Chain A
Amino acid sequence: MQELAEAIREEGKRLLESGEVDLVIGFTVGTLPLRAAPVFVRRAEDAEQLVWNSFCENNLAVYLRDIRDKRIAVVAKGCDTRAIVALINEHQLDRDKIHIIGVPCHGMVDRRTVARRAPGQVLAVREEGEEIVAEGESFSIRLPRSKALYRSCAACTHPNPVIYDILLGEEVAVWAEDPYAHVREIELKPAAERAAYFATEAQRCIRCYACRQACPMCYCEECFVDHTTPRWIESGVTPAGLQGWQIGRAYHLTGRCVACGACERSCPMEIDLVYLNGKLRKEVWELYGFQTGLIVGELPPLAVFQPDEGSDSTP
């Protein structure tokens, strides 16, 4: 991991020094244990700030669309590159303006899981091989990385960058056995239980929209929840308002979600968004054999139609 971080710093420095790009987007050391923070590096000497570790949890592709006037390099793990591909396919990004520093990913560690396992406040954390060591005032615990991964990372099908200008480090082997294991677990429950699960999850939502803001694919100039004339759903944290929001967002991401889990990671109420979006991802996979953001030029199924296909009214 350390060598990878060093390689990222070097590449960032080289790109800025040579003037190939104006900006490098990557991660820097966080202010809290278990955290790394997205950072914009504009000067070669600041490339020193770049780091790489198991806490680089954000999908940096979320920043790319808004920067139109600069040549950007972005540090991208598998899911970040899938978002880049999906955005290119939706005509939101210009491939030529983005220099992708591809980084094979070992899966990101869920800071909440580690914090919950710890008997007190975690004050320091380090990685030792395949273990996460978390320390507090009077404890030190070790967790295997594989047991502390984000739910979306545990199910990741593409940890290696699917598109890049340079690939740093060695490609990794895919570890997920069944990417839809969590979805299946819930699908097996009786309908009433599933409905109750969805309703209680949704009811904790505070409509902070961090899930939307963190999502690289949620880029509408005006989100349906922000539309006031007319209002599509109730405005408050009522069951109708919250479930309407959750369903609306999930539907808008059908065939578009790249499975990065950025939504769930950012959610302050720890709502099971991996299930919601995963369920629709699974439908798209089963109906169309399609996974989002793998191939440039391959359009999402709901964005294409065949002139001779049937319609609802003509079976």
Chain B
Amino acid sequence: MTKKRIAKEHINAFLARLLEDYIVYAPAEEANYVTFRQITAPEEVVWDCLVTRKPPKDVVFPQTETLFTYTKDADVLRLQSMEAVEKERILWGVRPCDAQAMLIQDAVFDTPEDRDVYYTNKREKTWLIGIGCNQPLSTCFCTSVGGGPFKKDGMDLFLTDIGEAYLAEALTAKGKRLLHGRGFRRATKADLKASDAAEQTALQRLPAPMSMDIIKQHLDGMMDSPFWDEIQATCLGCGICTLLCPVCYCFDIVDEGTTTCGQRVRNWDTCQYSIYTLEASGHNPRPGGRQRVRQRLMHKFNYHLVNQNLVGCVGCGRCVQLCPVNIDLRQLLAEIGAAE
């Protein structure tokens, strides 16, 4: 589709125009780190952060979301759904892995049989302006899971840093509509070449891809493996590797309120918590850490392939960076791949 160039000095003006019409989320500072959050001025964008502390998933799938509220007055019960979404949103500077994660979530929340309106209503009003990763981090492994630092799947518009300028490529009709106005020029042959070169350099920085097929096959036979005992020995059973994973989409629904008013809320949940599978009877089908660490790996690298034909991981490395006891998913996958 259409490719244009925009000099770096004009990019903030472009973003400022978008800020007039959209709610914009972008990598921006919060406390001591960079996270994906709403911004109100172009200057807030942190351009050189690849892996934000929080992924952008909460824009369409908030950690805590009121589904409906209720009031009961005398004997009249009133329900008010919170599903409507007014304003359109733009995710600015999304990386290919995080965009891929949204496509995976689409496949879960928006199927031919079931549409989760709370998700789809937001998703339909969310546009992705992505950016390629010229310098992948040492913890990135997107090419192992079918992605890549310049993969444009899911993007409406995609920016490539080519030095003095960005090459801007529209990938959808929406992207094409966004791609005009002051600052945009026709892309030259040299621009396209610079973009290809950036992509090649980036690819070389990434580790050699692992085979997800082999990992899936090996996992088929690992239900009873002692491998899980080794991981669970040091795993703390916290929520970091799943709550901050851009792909993880588990949630729990809770009613909060009194007999006269209240709300139904849904919150992120994670298979790493013991109460995730705790049944009302008190029985817990996944009673220990062994079953829980196994579930995380099995779901992402086995069941997900069976159910969605997609790996449940996009290789962003957040779990690798943030695990408090340095349990490194890449190492686990390498060991699973090498297992007999």
Q: Which residues of A contact B (CB under 8 A)?
A: 30-32, 35-40, 58, 62-63, 112, 116, 121, 123, 204, 206-210, 212-214, 226, 228, 231, 234-238, 241, 265-266, 268-270
Instruction: Give A39 to B240 CA distance when docked, in angstroms.
Output: 20
Instruction: Give A228 to B32 CA distance when docked, in angstroms.
Output: 34
Instruction: Write 21 A-B pairs (CB below 8 A) sorted by A numbering.
Output: A31-B326, A32-B139, A32-B320, A32-B328, A36-B326, A37-B327, A40-B233, A62-B236, A116-B32, A206-B54, A206-B239, A208-B243, A209-B273, A210-B240, A213-B236, A213-B237, A214-B236, A214-B238, A226-B273, A226-B274, A269-B31
Residues of chain B within 8 A (CB-CB) of A237 are 63-64, 267
Known contacts: A206-B244, A214-B238, A236-B63. The answer to whether A268 contacts B322 by CB under 8 A is yes
Task: Tell me, rounded to whole Å, the shortest Cβ–Cβ distance linking B284 to chain A.
Answer: 12
A-B CB contacts (within 8 Å), total count: 104
Segment 229-256 of B: residues with Cβ below 8 Å from A = 230, 233-234, 236-240, 243-244, 252, 254, 256
Segment 251-303 of B: residues with Cβ below 8 Å from A = 252, 254, 256, 265, 267-268, 273-275
Q: Is B53 an interface residue (CB 8 A)?
A: yes
Residues of chain B within 8 A (CB-CB) of A212 are 238
Q: Is B325 an interface residue (CB 8 A)?
A: yes
Residues of chain B within 8 A (CB-CB) of A62 are 236
Residues of chain A within 8 A (CB-CB) of B327 are 37
Contact B256 A231, beta carbon cutoff 8 Å: yes
Nearest neighbor of A206 in chain B, beta-carbon distance = B243
Instruction: Give A203 to B33 CA distance when docked, in angstroms.
Output: 15
Partner of A235, one of B256, B274, B320: B256
Interface range for B: 35 or more
Instruction: Give A144 to B87 CA distance when docked, in angstroms.
Output: 50
Contact A209 B239, beta carbon cutoff 8 Å: yes
Partner of A226, one of B230, B275, B320: B275
Residues of chain B within 8 A (CB-CB) of A236 are 63-64, 254, 265, 267
Known contacts: A210-B240, A213-B238. The answer to whether A238 contacts B31 by CB under 8 A is no
Contact A214 B320, beta carbon cutoff 8 Å: no
Contact B234 A38, beta carbon cutoff 8 Å: yes
Known contacts: A32-B320, A121-B137. The answer to whether A269 contacts B53 by CB under 8 A is yes
Contact B326 A266, beta carbon cutoff 8 Å: no
Nearest neighbor of B32 in chain A, beta-carbon distance = A270
Q: Is B330 an interface residue (CB 8 A)?
A: yes
Instruction: Give A123 to B233 CA distance when docked, in angstroms.
Output: 28
Contact B31 A31, beta carbon cutoff 8 Å: no
Task: Tell me, rounded to whole Å, the shortest Cβ–Cβ distance linking B201 to chain A.
Answer: 12
Q: Is B114 an interface residue (CB 8 A)?
A: no
Instruction: Pick from A121, A208, A209, A266 the residue with the most CB of B within 10 Å.
Output: A208
Residues of chain A within 8 A (CB-CB) of B54 are 206
Residues of chain A within 8 A (CB-CB) of B267 are 235-237
Instruction: Pick from B230, B238, B267 the residue with the most CB of A within 10 Å.
Output: B238
Known contacts: A121-B137, A206-B243, A210-B239. The answer to whether A234 contacts B53 by CB under 8 A is no
